[in-house]
Structure 1
Amino acid sequence: FEWIFGHNLWSIKLMDWTVSSLGLWFFYLLASQILSKKRALVAAFIWSSSLILSVLSLNTTPDVPLILFWTLALYSAHKALYQGSTVHWWLTGLWMGMALQSKYTALLLPLGLLALLIIDPTLRIQLKRKEFYLSILIAMVIASPIYLWNAAHDFASFGFQTTERGSSFGLSKKSFGLLGGFLGSQMLVIYPVVFLSMLSLCGVWLKKLWRHKRFPAGNQLFLAVFFVPTFLGFTLISPFYWVKINWLIPGFIGGILAISMFYKSRWLPWH
C-alpha cells in the first residue's frame, strides 16, 4: 500500500481496513460452506457488527493479519477435508504458516487440525495420507523465520511467551478483579448475548462429553476444535493471569459460526 499511496498514516490504515474486509469476506464464504444462506448471513452480521472487528479494521496490530489467515486456514481446511480438494491442503499449510508469522496463537491451528483427525472416525483416514503431513511441513517452512530469528537472539520471543509470562501465573488478591475485568471486556467487544451463547455452547458440548462420552459431530466438531481451546482455555485462566482483550479473537471465528447454527432471530435486537 505504501508503494501506491506513499509512506503515510492513511496507507497503513487502508491496509488494516482492506485486510479486515478480506477476512470478513472469507468468513462469509466459510459460513456459506457450513451453514444455510440465512444463517451464514446471521453469522456475518454478528462478526461484522462486533466492536472488536471495527476497532481492528483501523488499528495496526498482529491480530489484523492473524484474523485473515486464521479464517483462510479454516476455509481451506474445510474444503480439503469435506470436498476432497488437494490444492486446499497445500493452501491450508500456507495459511497456517502465515498465521504463525502473525502471532503464536496460530499454533492452535495445526494442533486443532490434528485433534480433529484423531477424534472424528470419518476423517481419521487422513492420518494415513501424505496431504496432511505436507500441509504441516508447508506451515513449518513458511513460519521458519520465527525459529531462525529466535535462534539468533537467544530465543527471546519464545522465552517471553513461556517462562516470563508463566512466572506471573497464579491466584492472588487480584483474581476476582481479573475474572470480572475479563468477562466485562469480552462482553463489551463481542456483545453479551454472543459471548454468553458461546460460553453456553461450550457447556453443552462438555456436558455431553462428560455424561455420554460423545464429541460433537460433523461441522460442529470442525468448529469446536478451533474454537473451544482458545475461547475456553483463556476463559479458565483469566482468574490467574491478565488475559488481554484481544487474545480470544481467533476463537470468535469458529465460535460465532457454531452459535449461528442455533442463534434465534429474536436475539438480534439484543446484539
Structure 2
Amino acid sequence: MQSNTQSNIQQVSMWQWLLIIVSCVFAYRLVITINTPISLFYDEAYYLSWAQNLDWGYYSKPPMVAWLIATTTHIFGMAEWAVKLSAPVLYAATAILCFAINKQLFNAKAGFWAGLTFMLMPLVSLNSLFVTTDAPQLFFWAAAFYAFIQAQHSNKWFYWGLAGLLGGLGLLSKYTFILLPVTFLIYALISQSGRQILTNPRFWIACLIAITLLIPNLVWNFHHDFISFQHTSEISKHAQNSASLARMLEFLALQLLVFGPVALVILTVCGVKSITQQSQQTTDSIKLLWCLFLPTLAVISLQALTARANMNWAAAAYVGASLLAGYYFSHMWQNKIIYQRALVILAMVANLVLMGAFYHFNAFTQLIGVERNQHNDPYKRILKWPQLVGEFDPIFKQRPQAKLASDSRKLLAYFGYYLSNQDFQGAHIDGTDHIGHHYELKYPINQQTETEYYFVTQNWHEQDLLTYFSTVELVKQASVDVYPEFKRTVRLYRVSGYKQE
C-alpha cells in the first residue's frame, strides 16, 4: 500500500513538473514572438491568404494549416503573433501527449523525460516561432498514436474510432502522415503483438475512418488536376537529381540539429546497444517506439539519397525519438550513476543553448564577436520586409481600388499582408504556363476583370511588363539595407491594358 502511494505521488510530481516547464517554455516563446517581433516568413503570409478562403485543399498542402490560422486570427485578430499562435500551442500539447504515451507504456518518469525532450528539441524551438504544417502533423501523429495504444490495450471501439479520427486529421495536416501506418506494418514483422493488431478488424476500420476523412481533399485535388501531388513530386526533383550518398549523409548529419546533438548520439548508442546485446529489456513497447521512429527517418533518408530532402522532412519521426529518449533517459537517471546523469543533463542543456542562441541571435553573435551577415543569419529571409512594404503603403492608400499584382509568390504574400489595405487575392503572372503556387492557381491575371494594377516586382523591368500590358509606368522604387553588403529592392509599376494571350 505504501509503495503504491509513493508511486502515485511520484507520478503526480512528474506530471506537475512537466506541466510547469512546458507552460514556462510556451510563455517564453510567445513573449519572443510578440516582443521581438518575429515578422512573418513568406510561407506564413502565403498560408494566411489560404485562410481567407477555407477549403478542403490548397495548391501544395492539405487544409489544416489554413484552418488553424483562420481559427487563431478570427479569435485574436491579424497580428503576427496571432497568425503563428497555433504552432507553440500544438507543440506544447504534443509534449504533454508524449508524457501520456510513455506513462501508459512505461511510467511517469519516462513520460517526464519524453515530454521535456520533445519540448526542448531544436526543431520544435525553431518551428514554435513559425506556423508550418509540422505543428499539426506532429500533434496528430502523437495523438493518433496515443489513441492507438489505448485501443490496443482495451480494444474498445471508442479508442479505435478516436485513432481513426485523429489519423484522418493528421492526413489533412501533411501528406507524409501516411507513413504512420508503416509503423504498424514493420511492428508486425518483429512482434507477435504487432501481428495481432493486423488481424484485428477494428484496426482496419480505424484506417478506413482516417482515409474517409481525406476523401474531401482527394475530391478537391481531382477537381484541380491533383495539383498538390504534382507539387510534391516536383519539389522532390527525382528527374533532376542522381543518387548521392554525400547528400544523404549531409541530411543525416543535420538531424543532430533537428533533435539535438547530444540527445541523438545517446539515443543512437542506446539503440545499437539494445540490438547488439539482444537486451531482455527490449520489450514490445520499445520495439513499437523504434518502429515509430526509424521507418520514417529511413524513408526520408532514401529520399535524400535519390533526390533531395529538407532537414525537417523527417520531423514526424522525432515523436518516436522523444518517446525512446524519455525511456532511456529515465533509466540513466534512475541508475544514479554520475556520468549517466551528467549526459542526460548535457543533452537538455545543449538543446537549451541552441534555443537561446536562436531566440537571442543578435545578443549571441555580439557575445561571441561575430558580425551578422547574409551567410550566417538564420533570420535573413524575414528581415526588413515590413519596412520595405511600408515604403509603398502610402501609394496603395491613395488608390485603394487598385489591384495588387506581381510575378512573385513571395511579394504577393508579403504585400498582401503588410499593406494597410490587405489584399490576399493578388493577381499573378510570370510568363509561363506552369502553375507554381496558389496565386497562380486561383488568381491568374488572365482570369481577372480589373483594368489597372499596381505591379510589384524584384526581377521585371518596363520592357518585360510591356510584353503583357499596353501601359507601364514606374511609380516607385524602394530599397532597405538588411546588412551592409545586402539590400532588398522592389519596384512598383502602374500597369493597364492587359494583352490577352
Please give the TM-score of this superposition, normalised by the length of structure 2: 0.48
Matched residue SS, 1:247: coil
Task: Give aligned-pair identity as a percent.
Answer: 25
Matched residue SS, 1:249: coil
Question: Residues of 2 paired with 1:243 and 1:201: CA distance?
Answer: 26
Ranges in structure 2 where 5+ consecutive residues have no aligned partner: 1-71, 333-340, 348-501
Q: What amino acid sits opposite 1:171 in the alignment?
A: A
Structure with greater Cα Rg:
2
Q: Which residue of 2 aligns with 1:106?
A: 177
Determine whether 1:266 maps to 2:342: yes
Question: Residues of 1 paired with 2:198 and 2:249: CA distance?
Answer: 42
More helix by share: 1
Please give the TM-score of this superposition, normalised by the length of structure 1: 0.85
Question: Residues of 1 paired with 2:242 and 2:142: CA distance?
Answer: 33
RMSD: 2.6
Q: Which deviates more, 59-68 or 11-20?
A: 11-20
The offset of 1:240, in angstroms, is 3.9
The offset of 1:207, in angstroms, is 5.7
More strand by share: 2
The offset of 1:253, in angstroms, is 0.8
Aligned partner (choices 172, 194, 204) of residue 263 of structure 2? 194
The offset of 1:140, in angstroms, is 0.6
Q: What amino acid sits opposite 1:27 in the alignment?
A: C
Q: Which deviates more, 11-20 or 58-67?
A: 11-20
The offset of 1:180, in angstroms, is 5.2
Determine whether 1:220 maps to 2:286: yes
Q: Deviations over 1:6-37 (max 9, x none)?
A: 23322222222212221221121112112322
Aligned partner (choices 272, 296, 299) of residue 230 of structure 1? 296
Equivalent residues in 2 for 1:111-260, closer than 5 Å = 111-117=182-188, 119-162=190-233, 165=236, 166-172=238-244, 175-176=245-246, 178-179=247-248, 181-200=250-269, 203=272, 217-260=283-326
**Distance 1:40-1:126 versus aligned 2 partners, 3 A rule:** closer
Q: How many residues align?
A: 263
Q: Which has the higher contact order (CA 8 A, sep 6+)?
A: 1
Q: Deviations over 1:230-270 (max 9, x none)?
A: 12333355344332121121111112212333233221232
CA contact (8 A) 1:194 1:256 kept: no
Q: Which residue of 2 aligns with 1:38?
A: 109
Q: What amino acid sits opposite 1:104 in the alignment?
A: Y
Q: Which residue of 2 aligns with 1:86?
A: 157
Matched residue SS, 2:328: coil
Q: Deviations over 1:84-128 (max 9, x none)?
A: 332111111111111111111110112323443454323433444
CA contact (8 A) 1:201 1:259 kept: no
**Distance 1:250-1:140 versus aligned 2 partners, 3 A rule:** same
**Distance 1:206-1:229 versus aligned 2 partners, 3 A rule:** farther
Question: Residues of 1 paired with 2:86 and 2:199: CA distance?
Answer: 41
Ranges in structure 1 where 5+ consecutive residues have no aligned partner: none
Q: Deviations over 1:165-207 (max 9, x none)?
A: 22234335xx52x345424432123211222234445545766
Q: Which deviates more, 228-237 or 56-65?
A: 228-237
Q: Which deviates more, 184-193 or 45-54?
A: 184-193
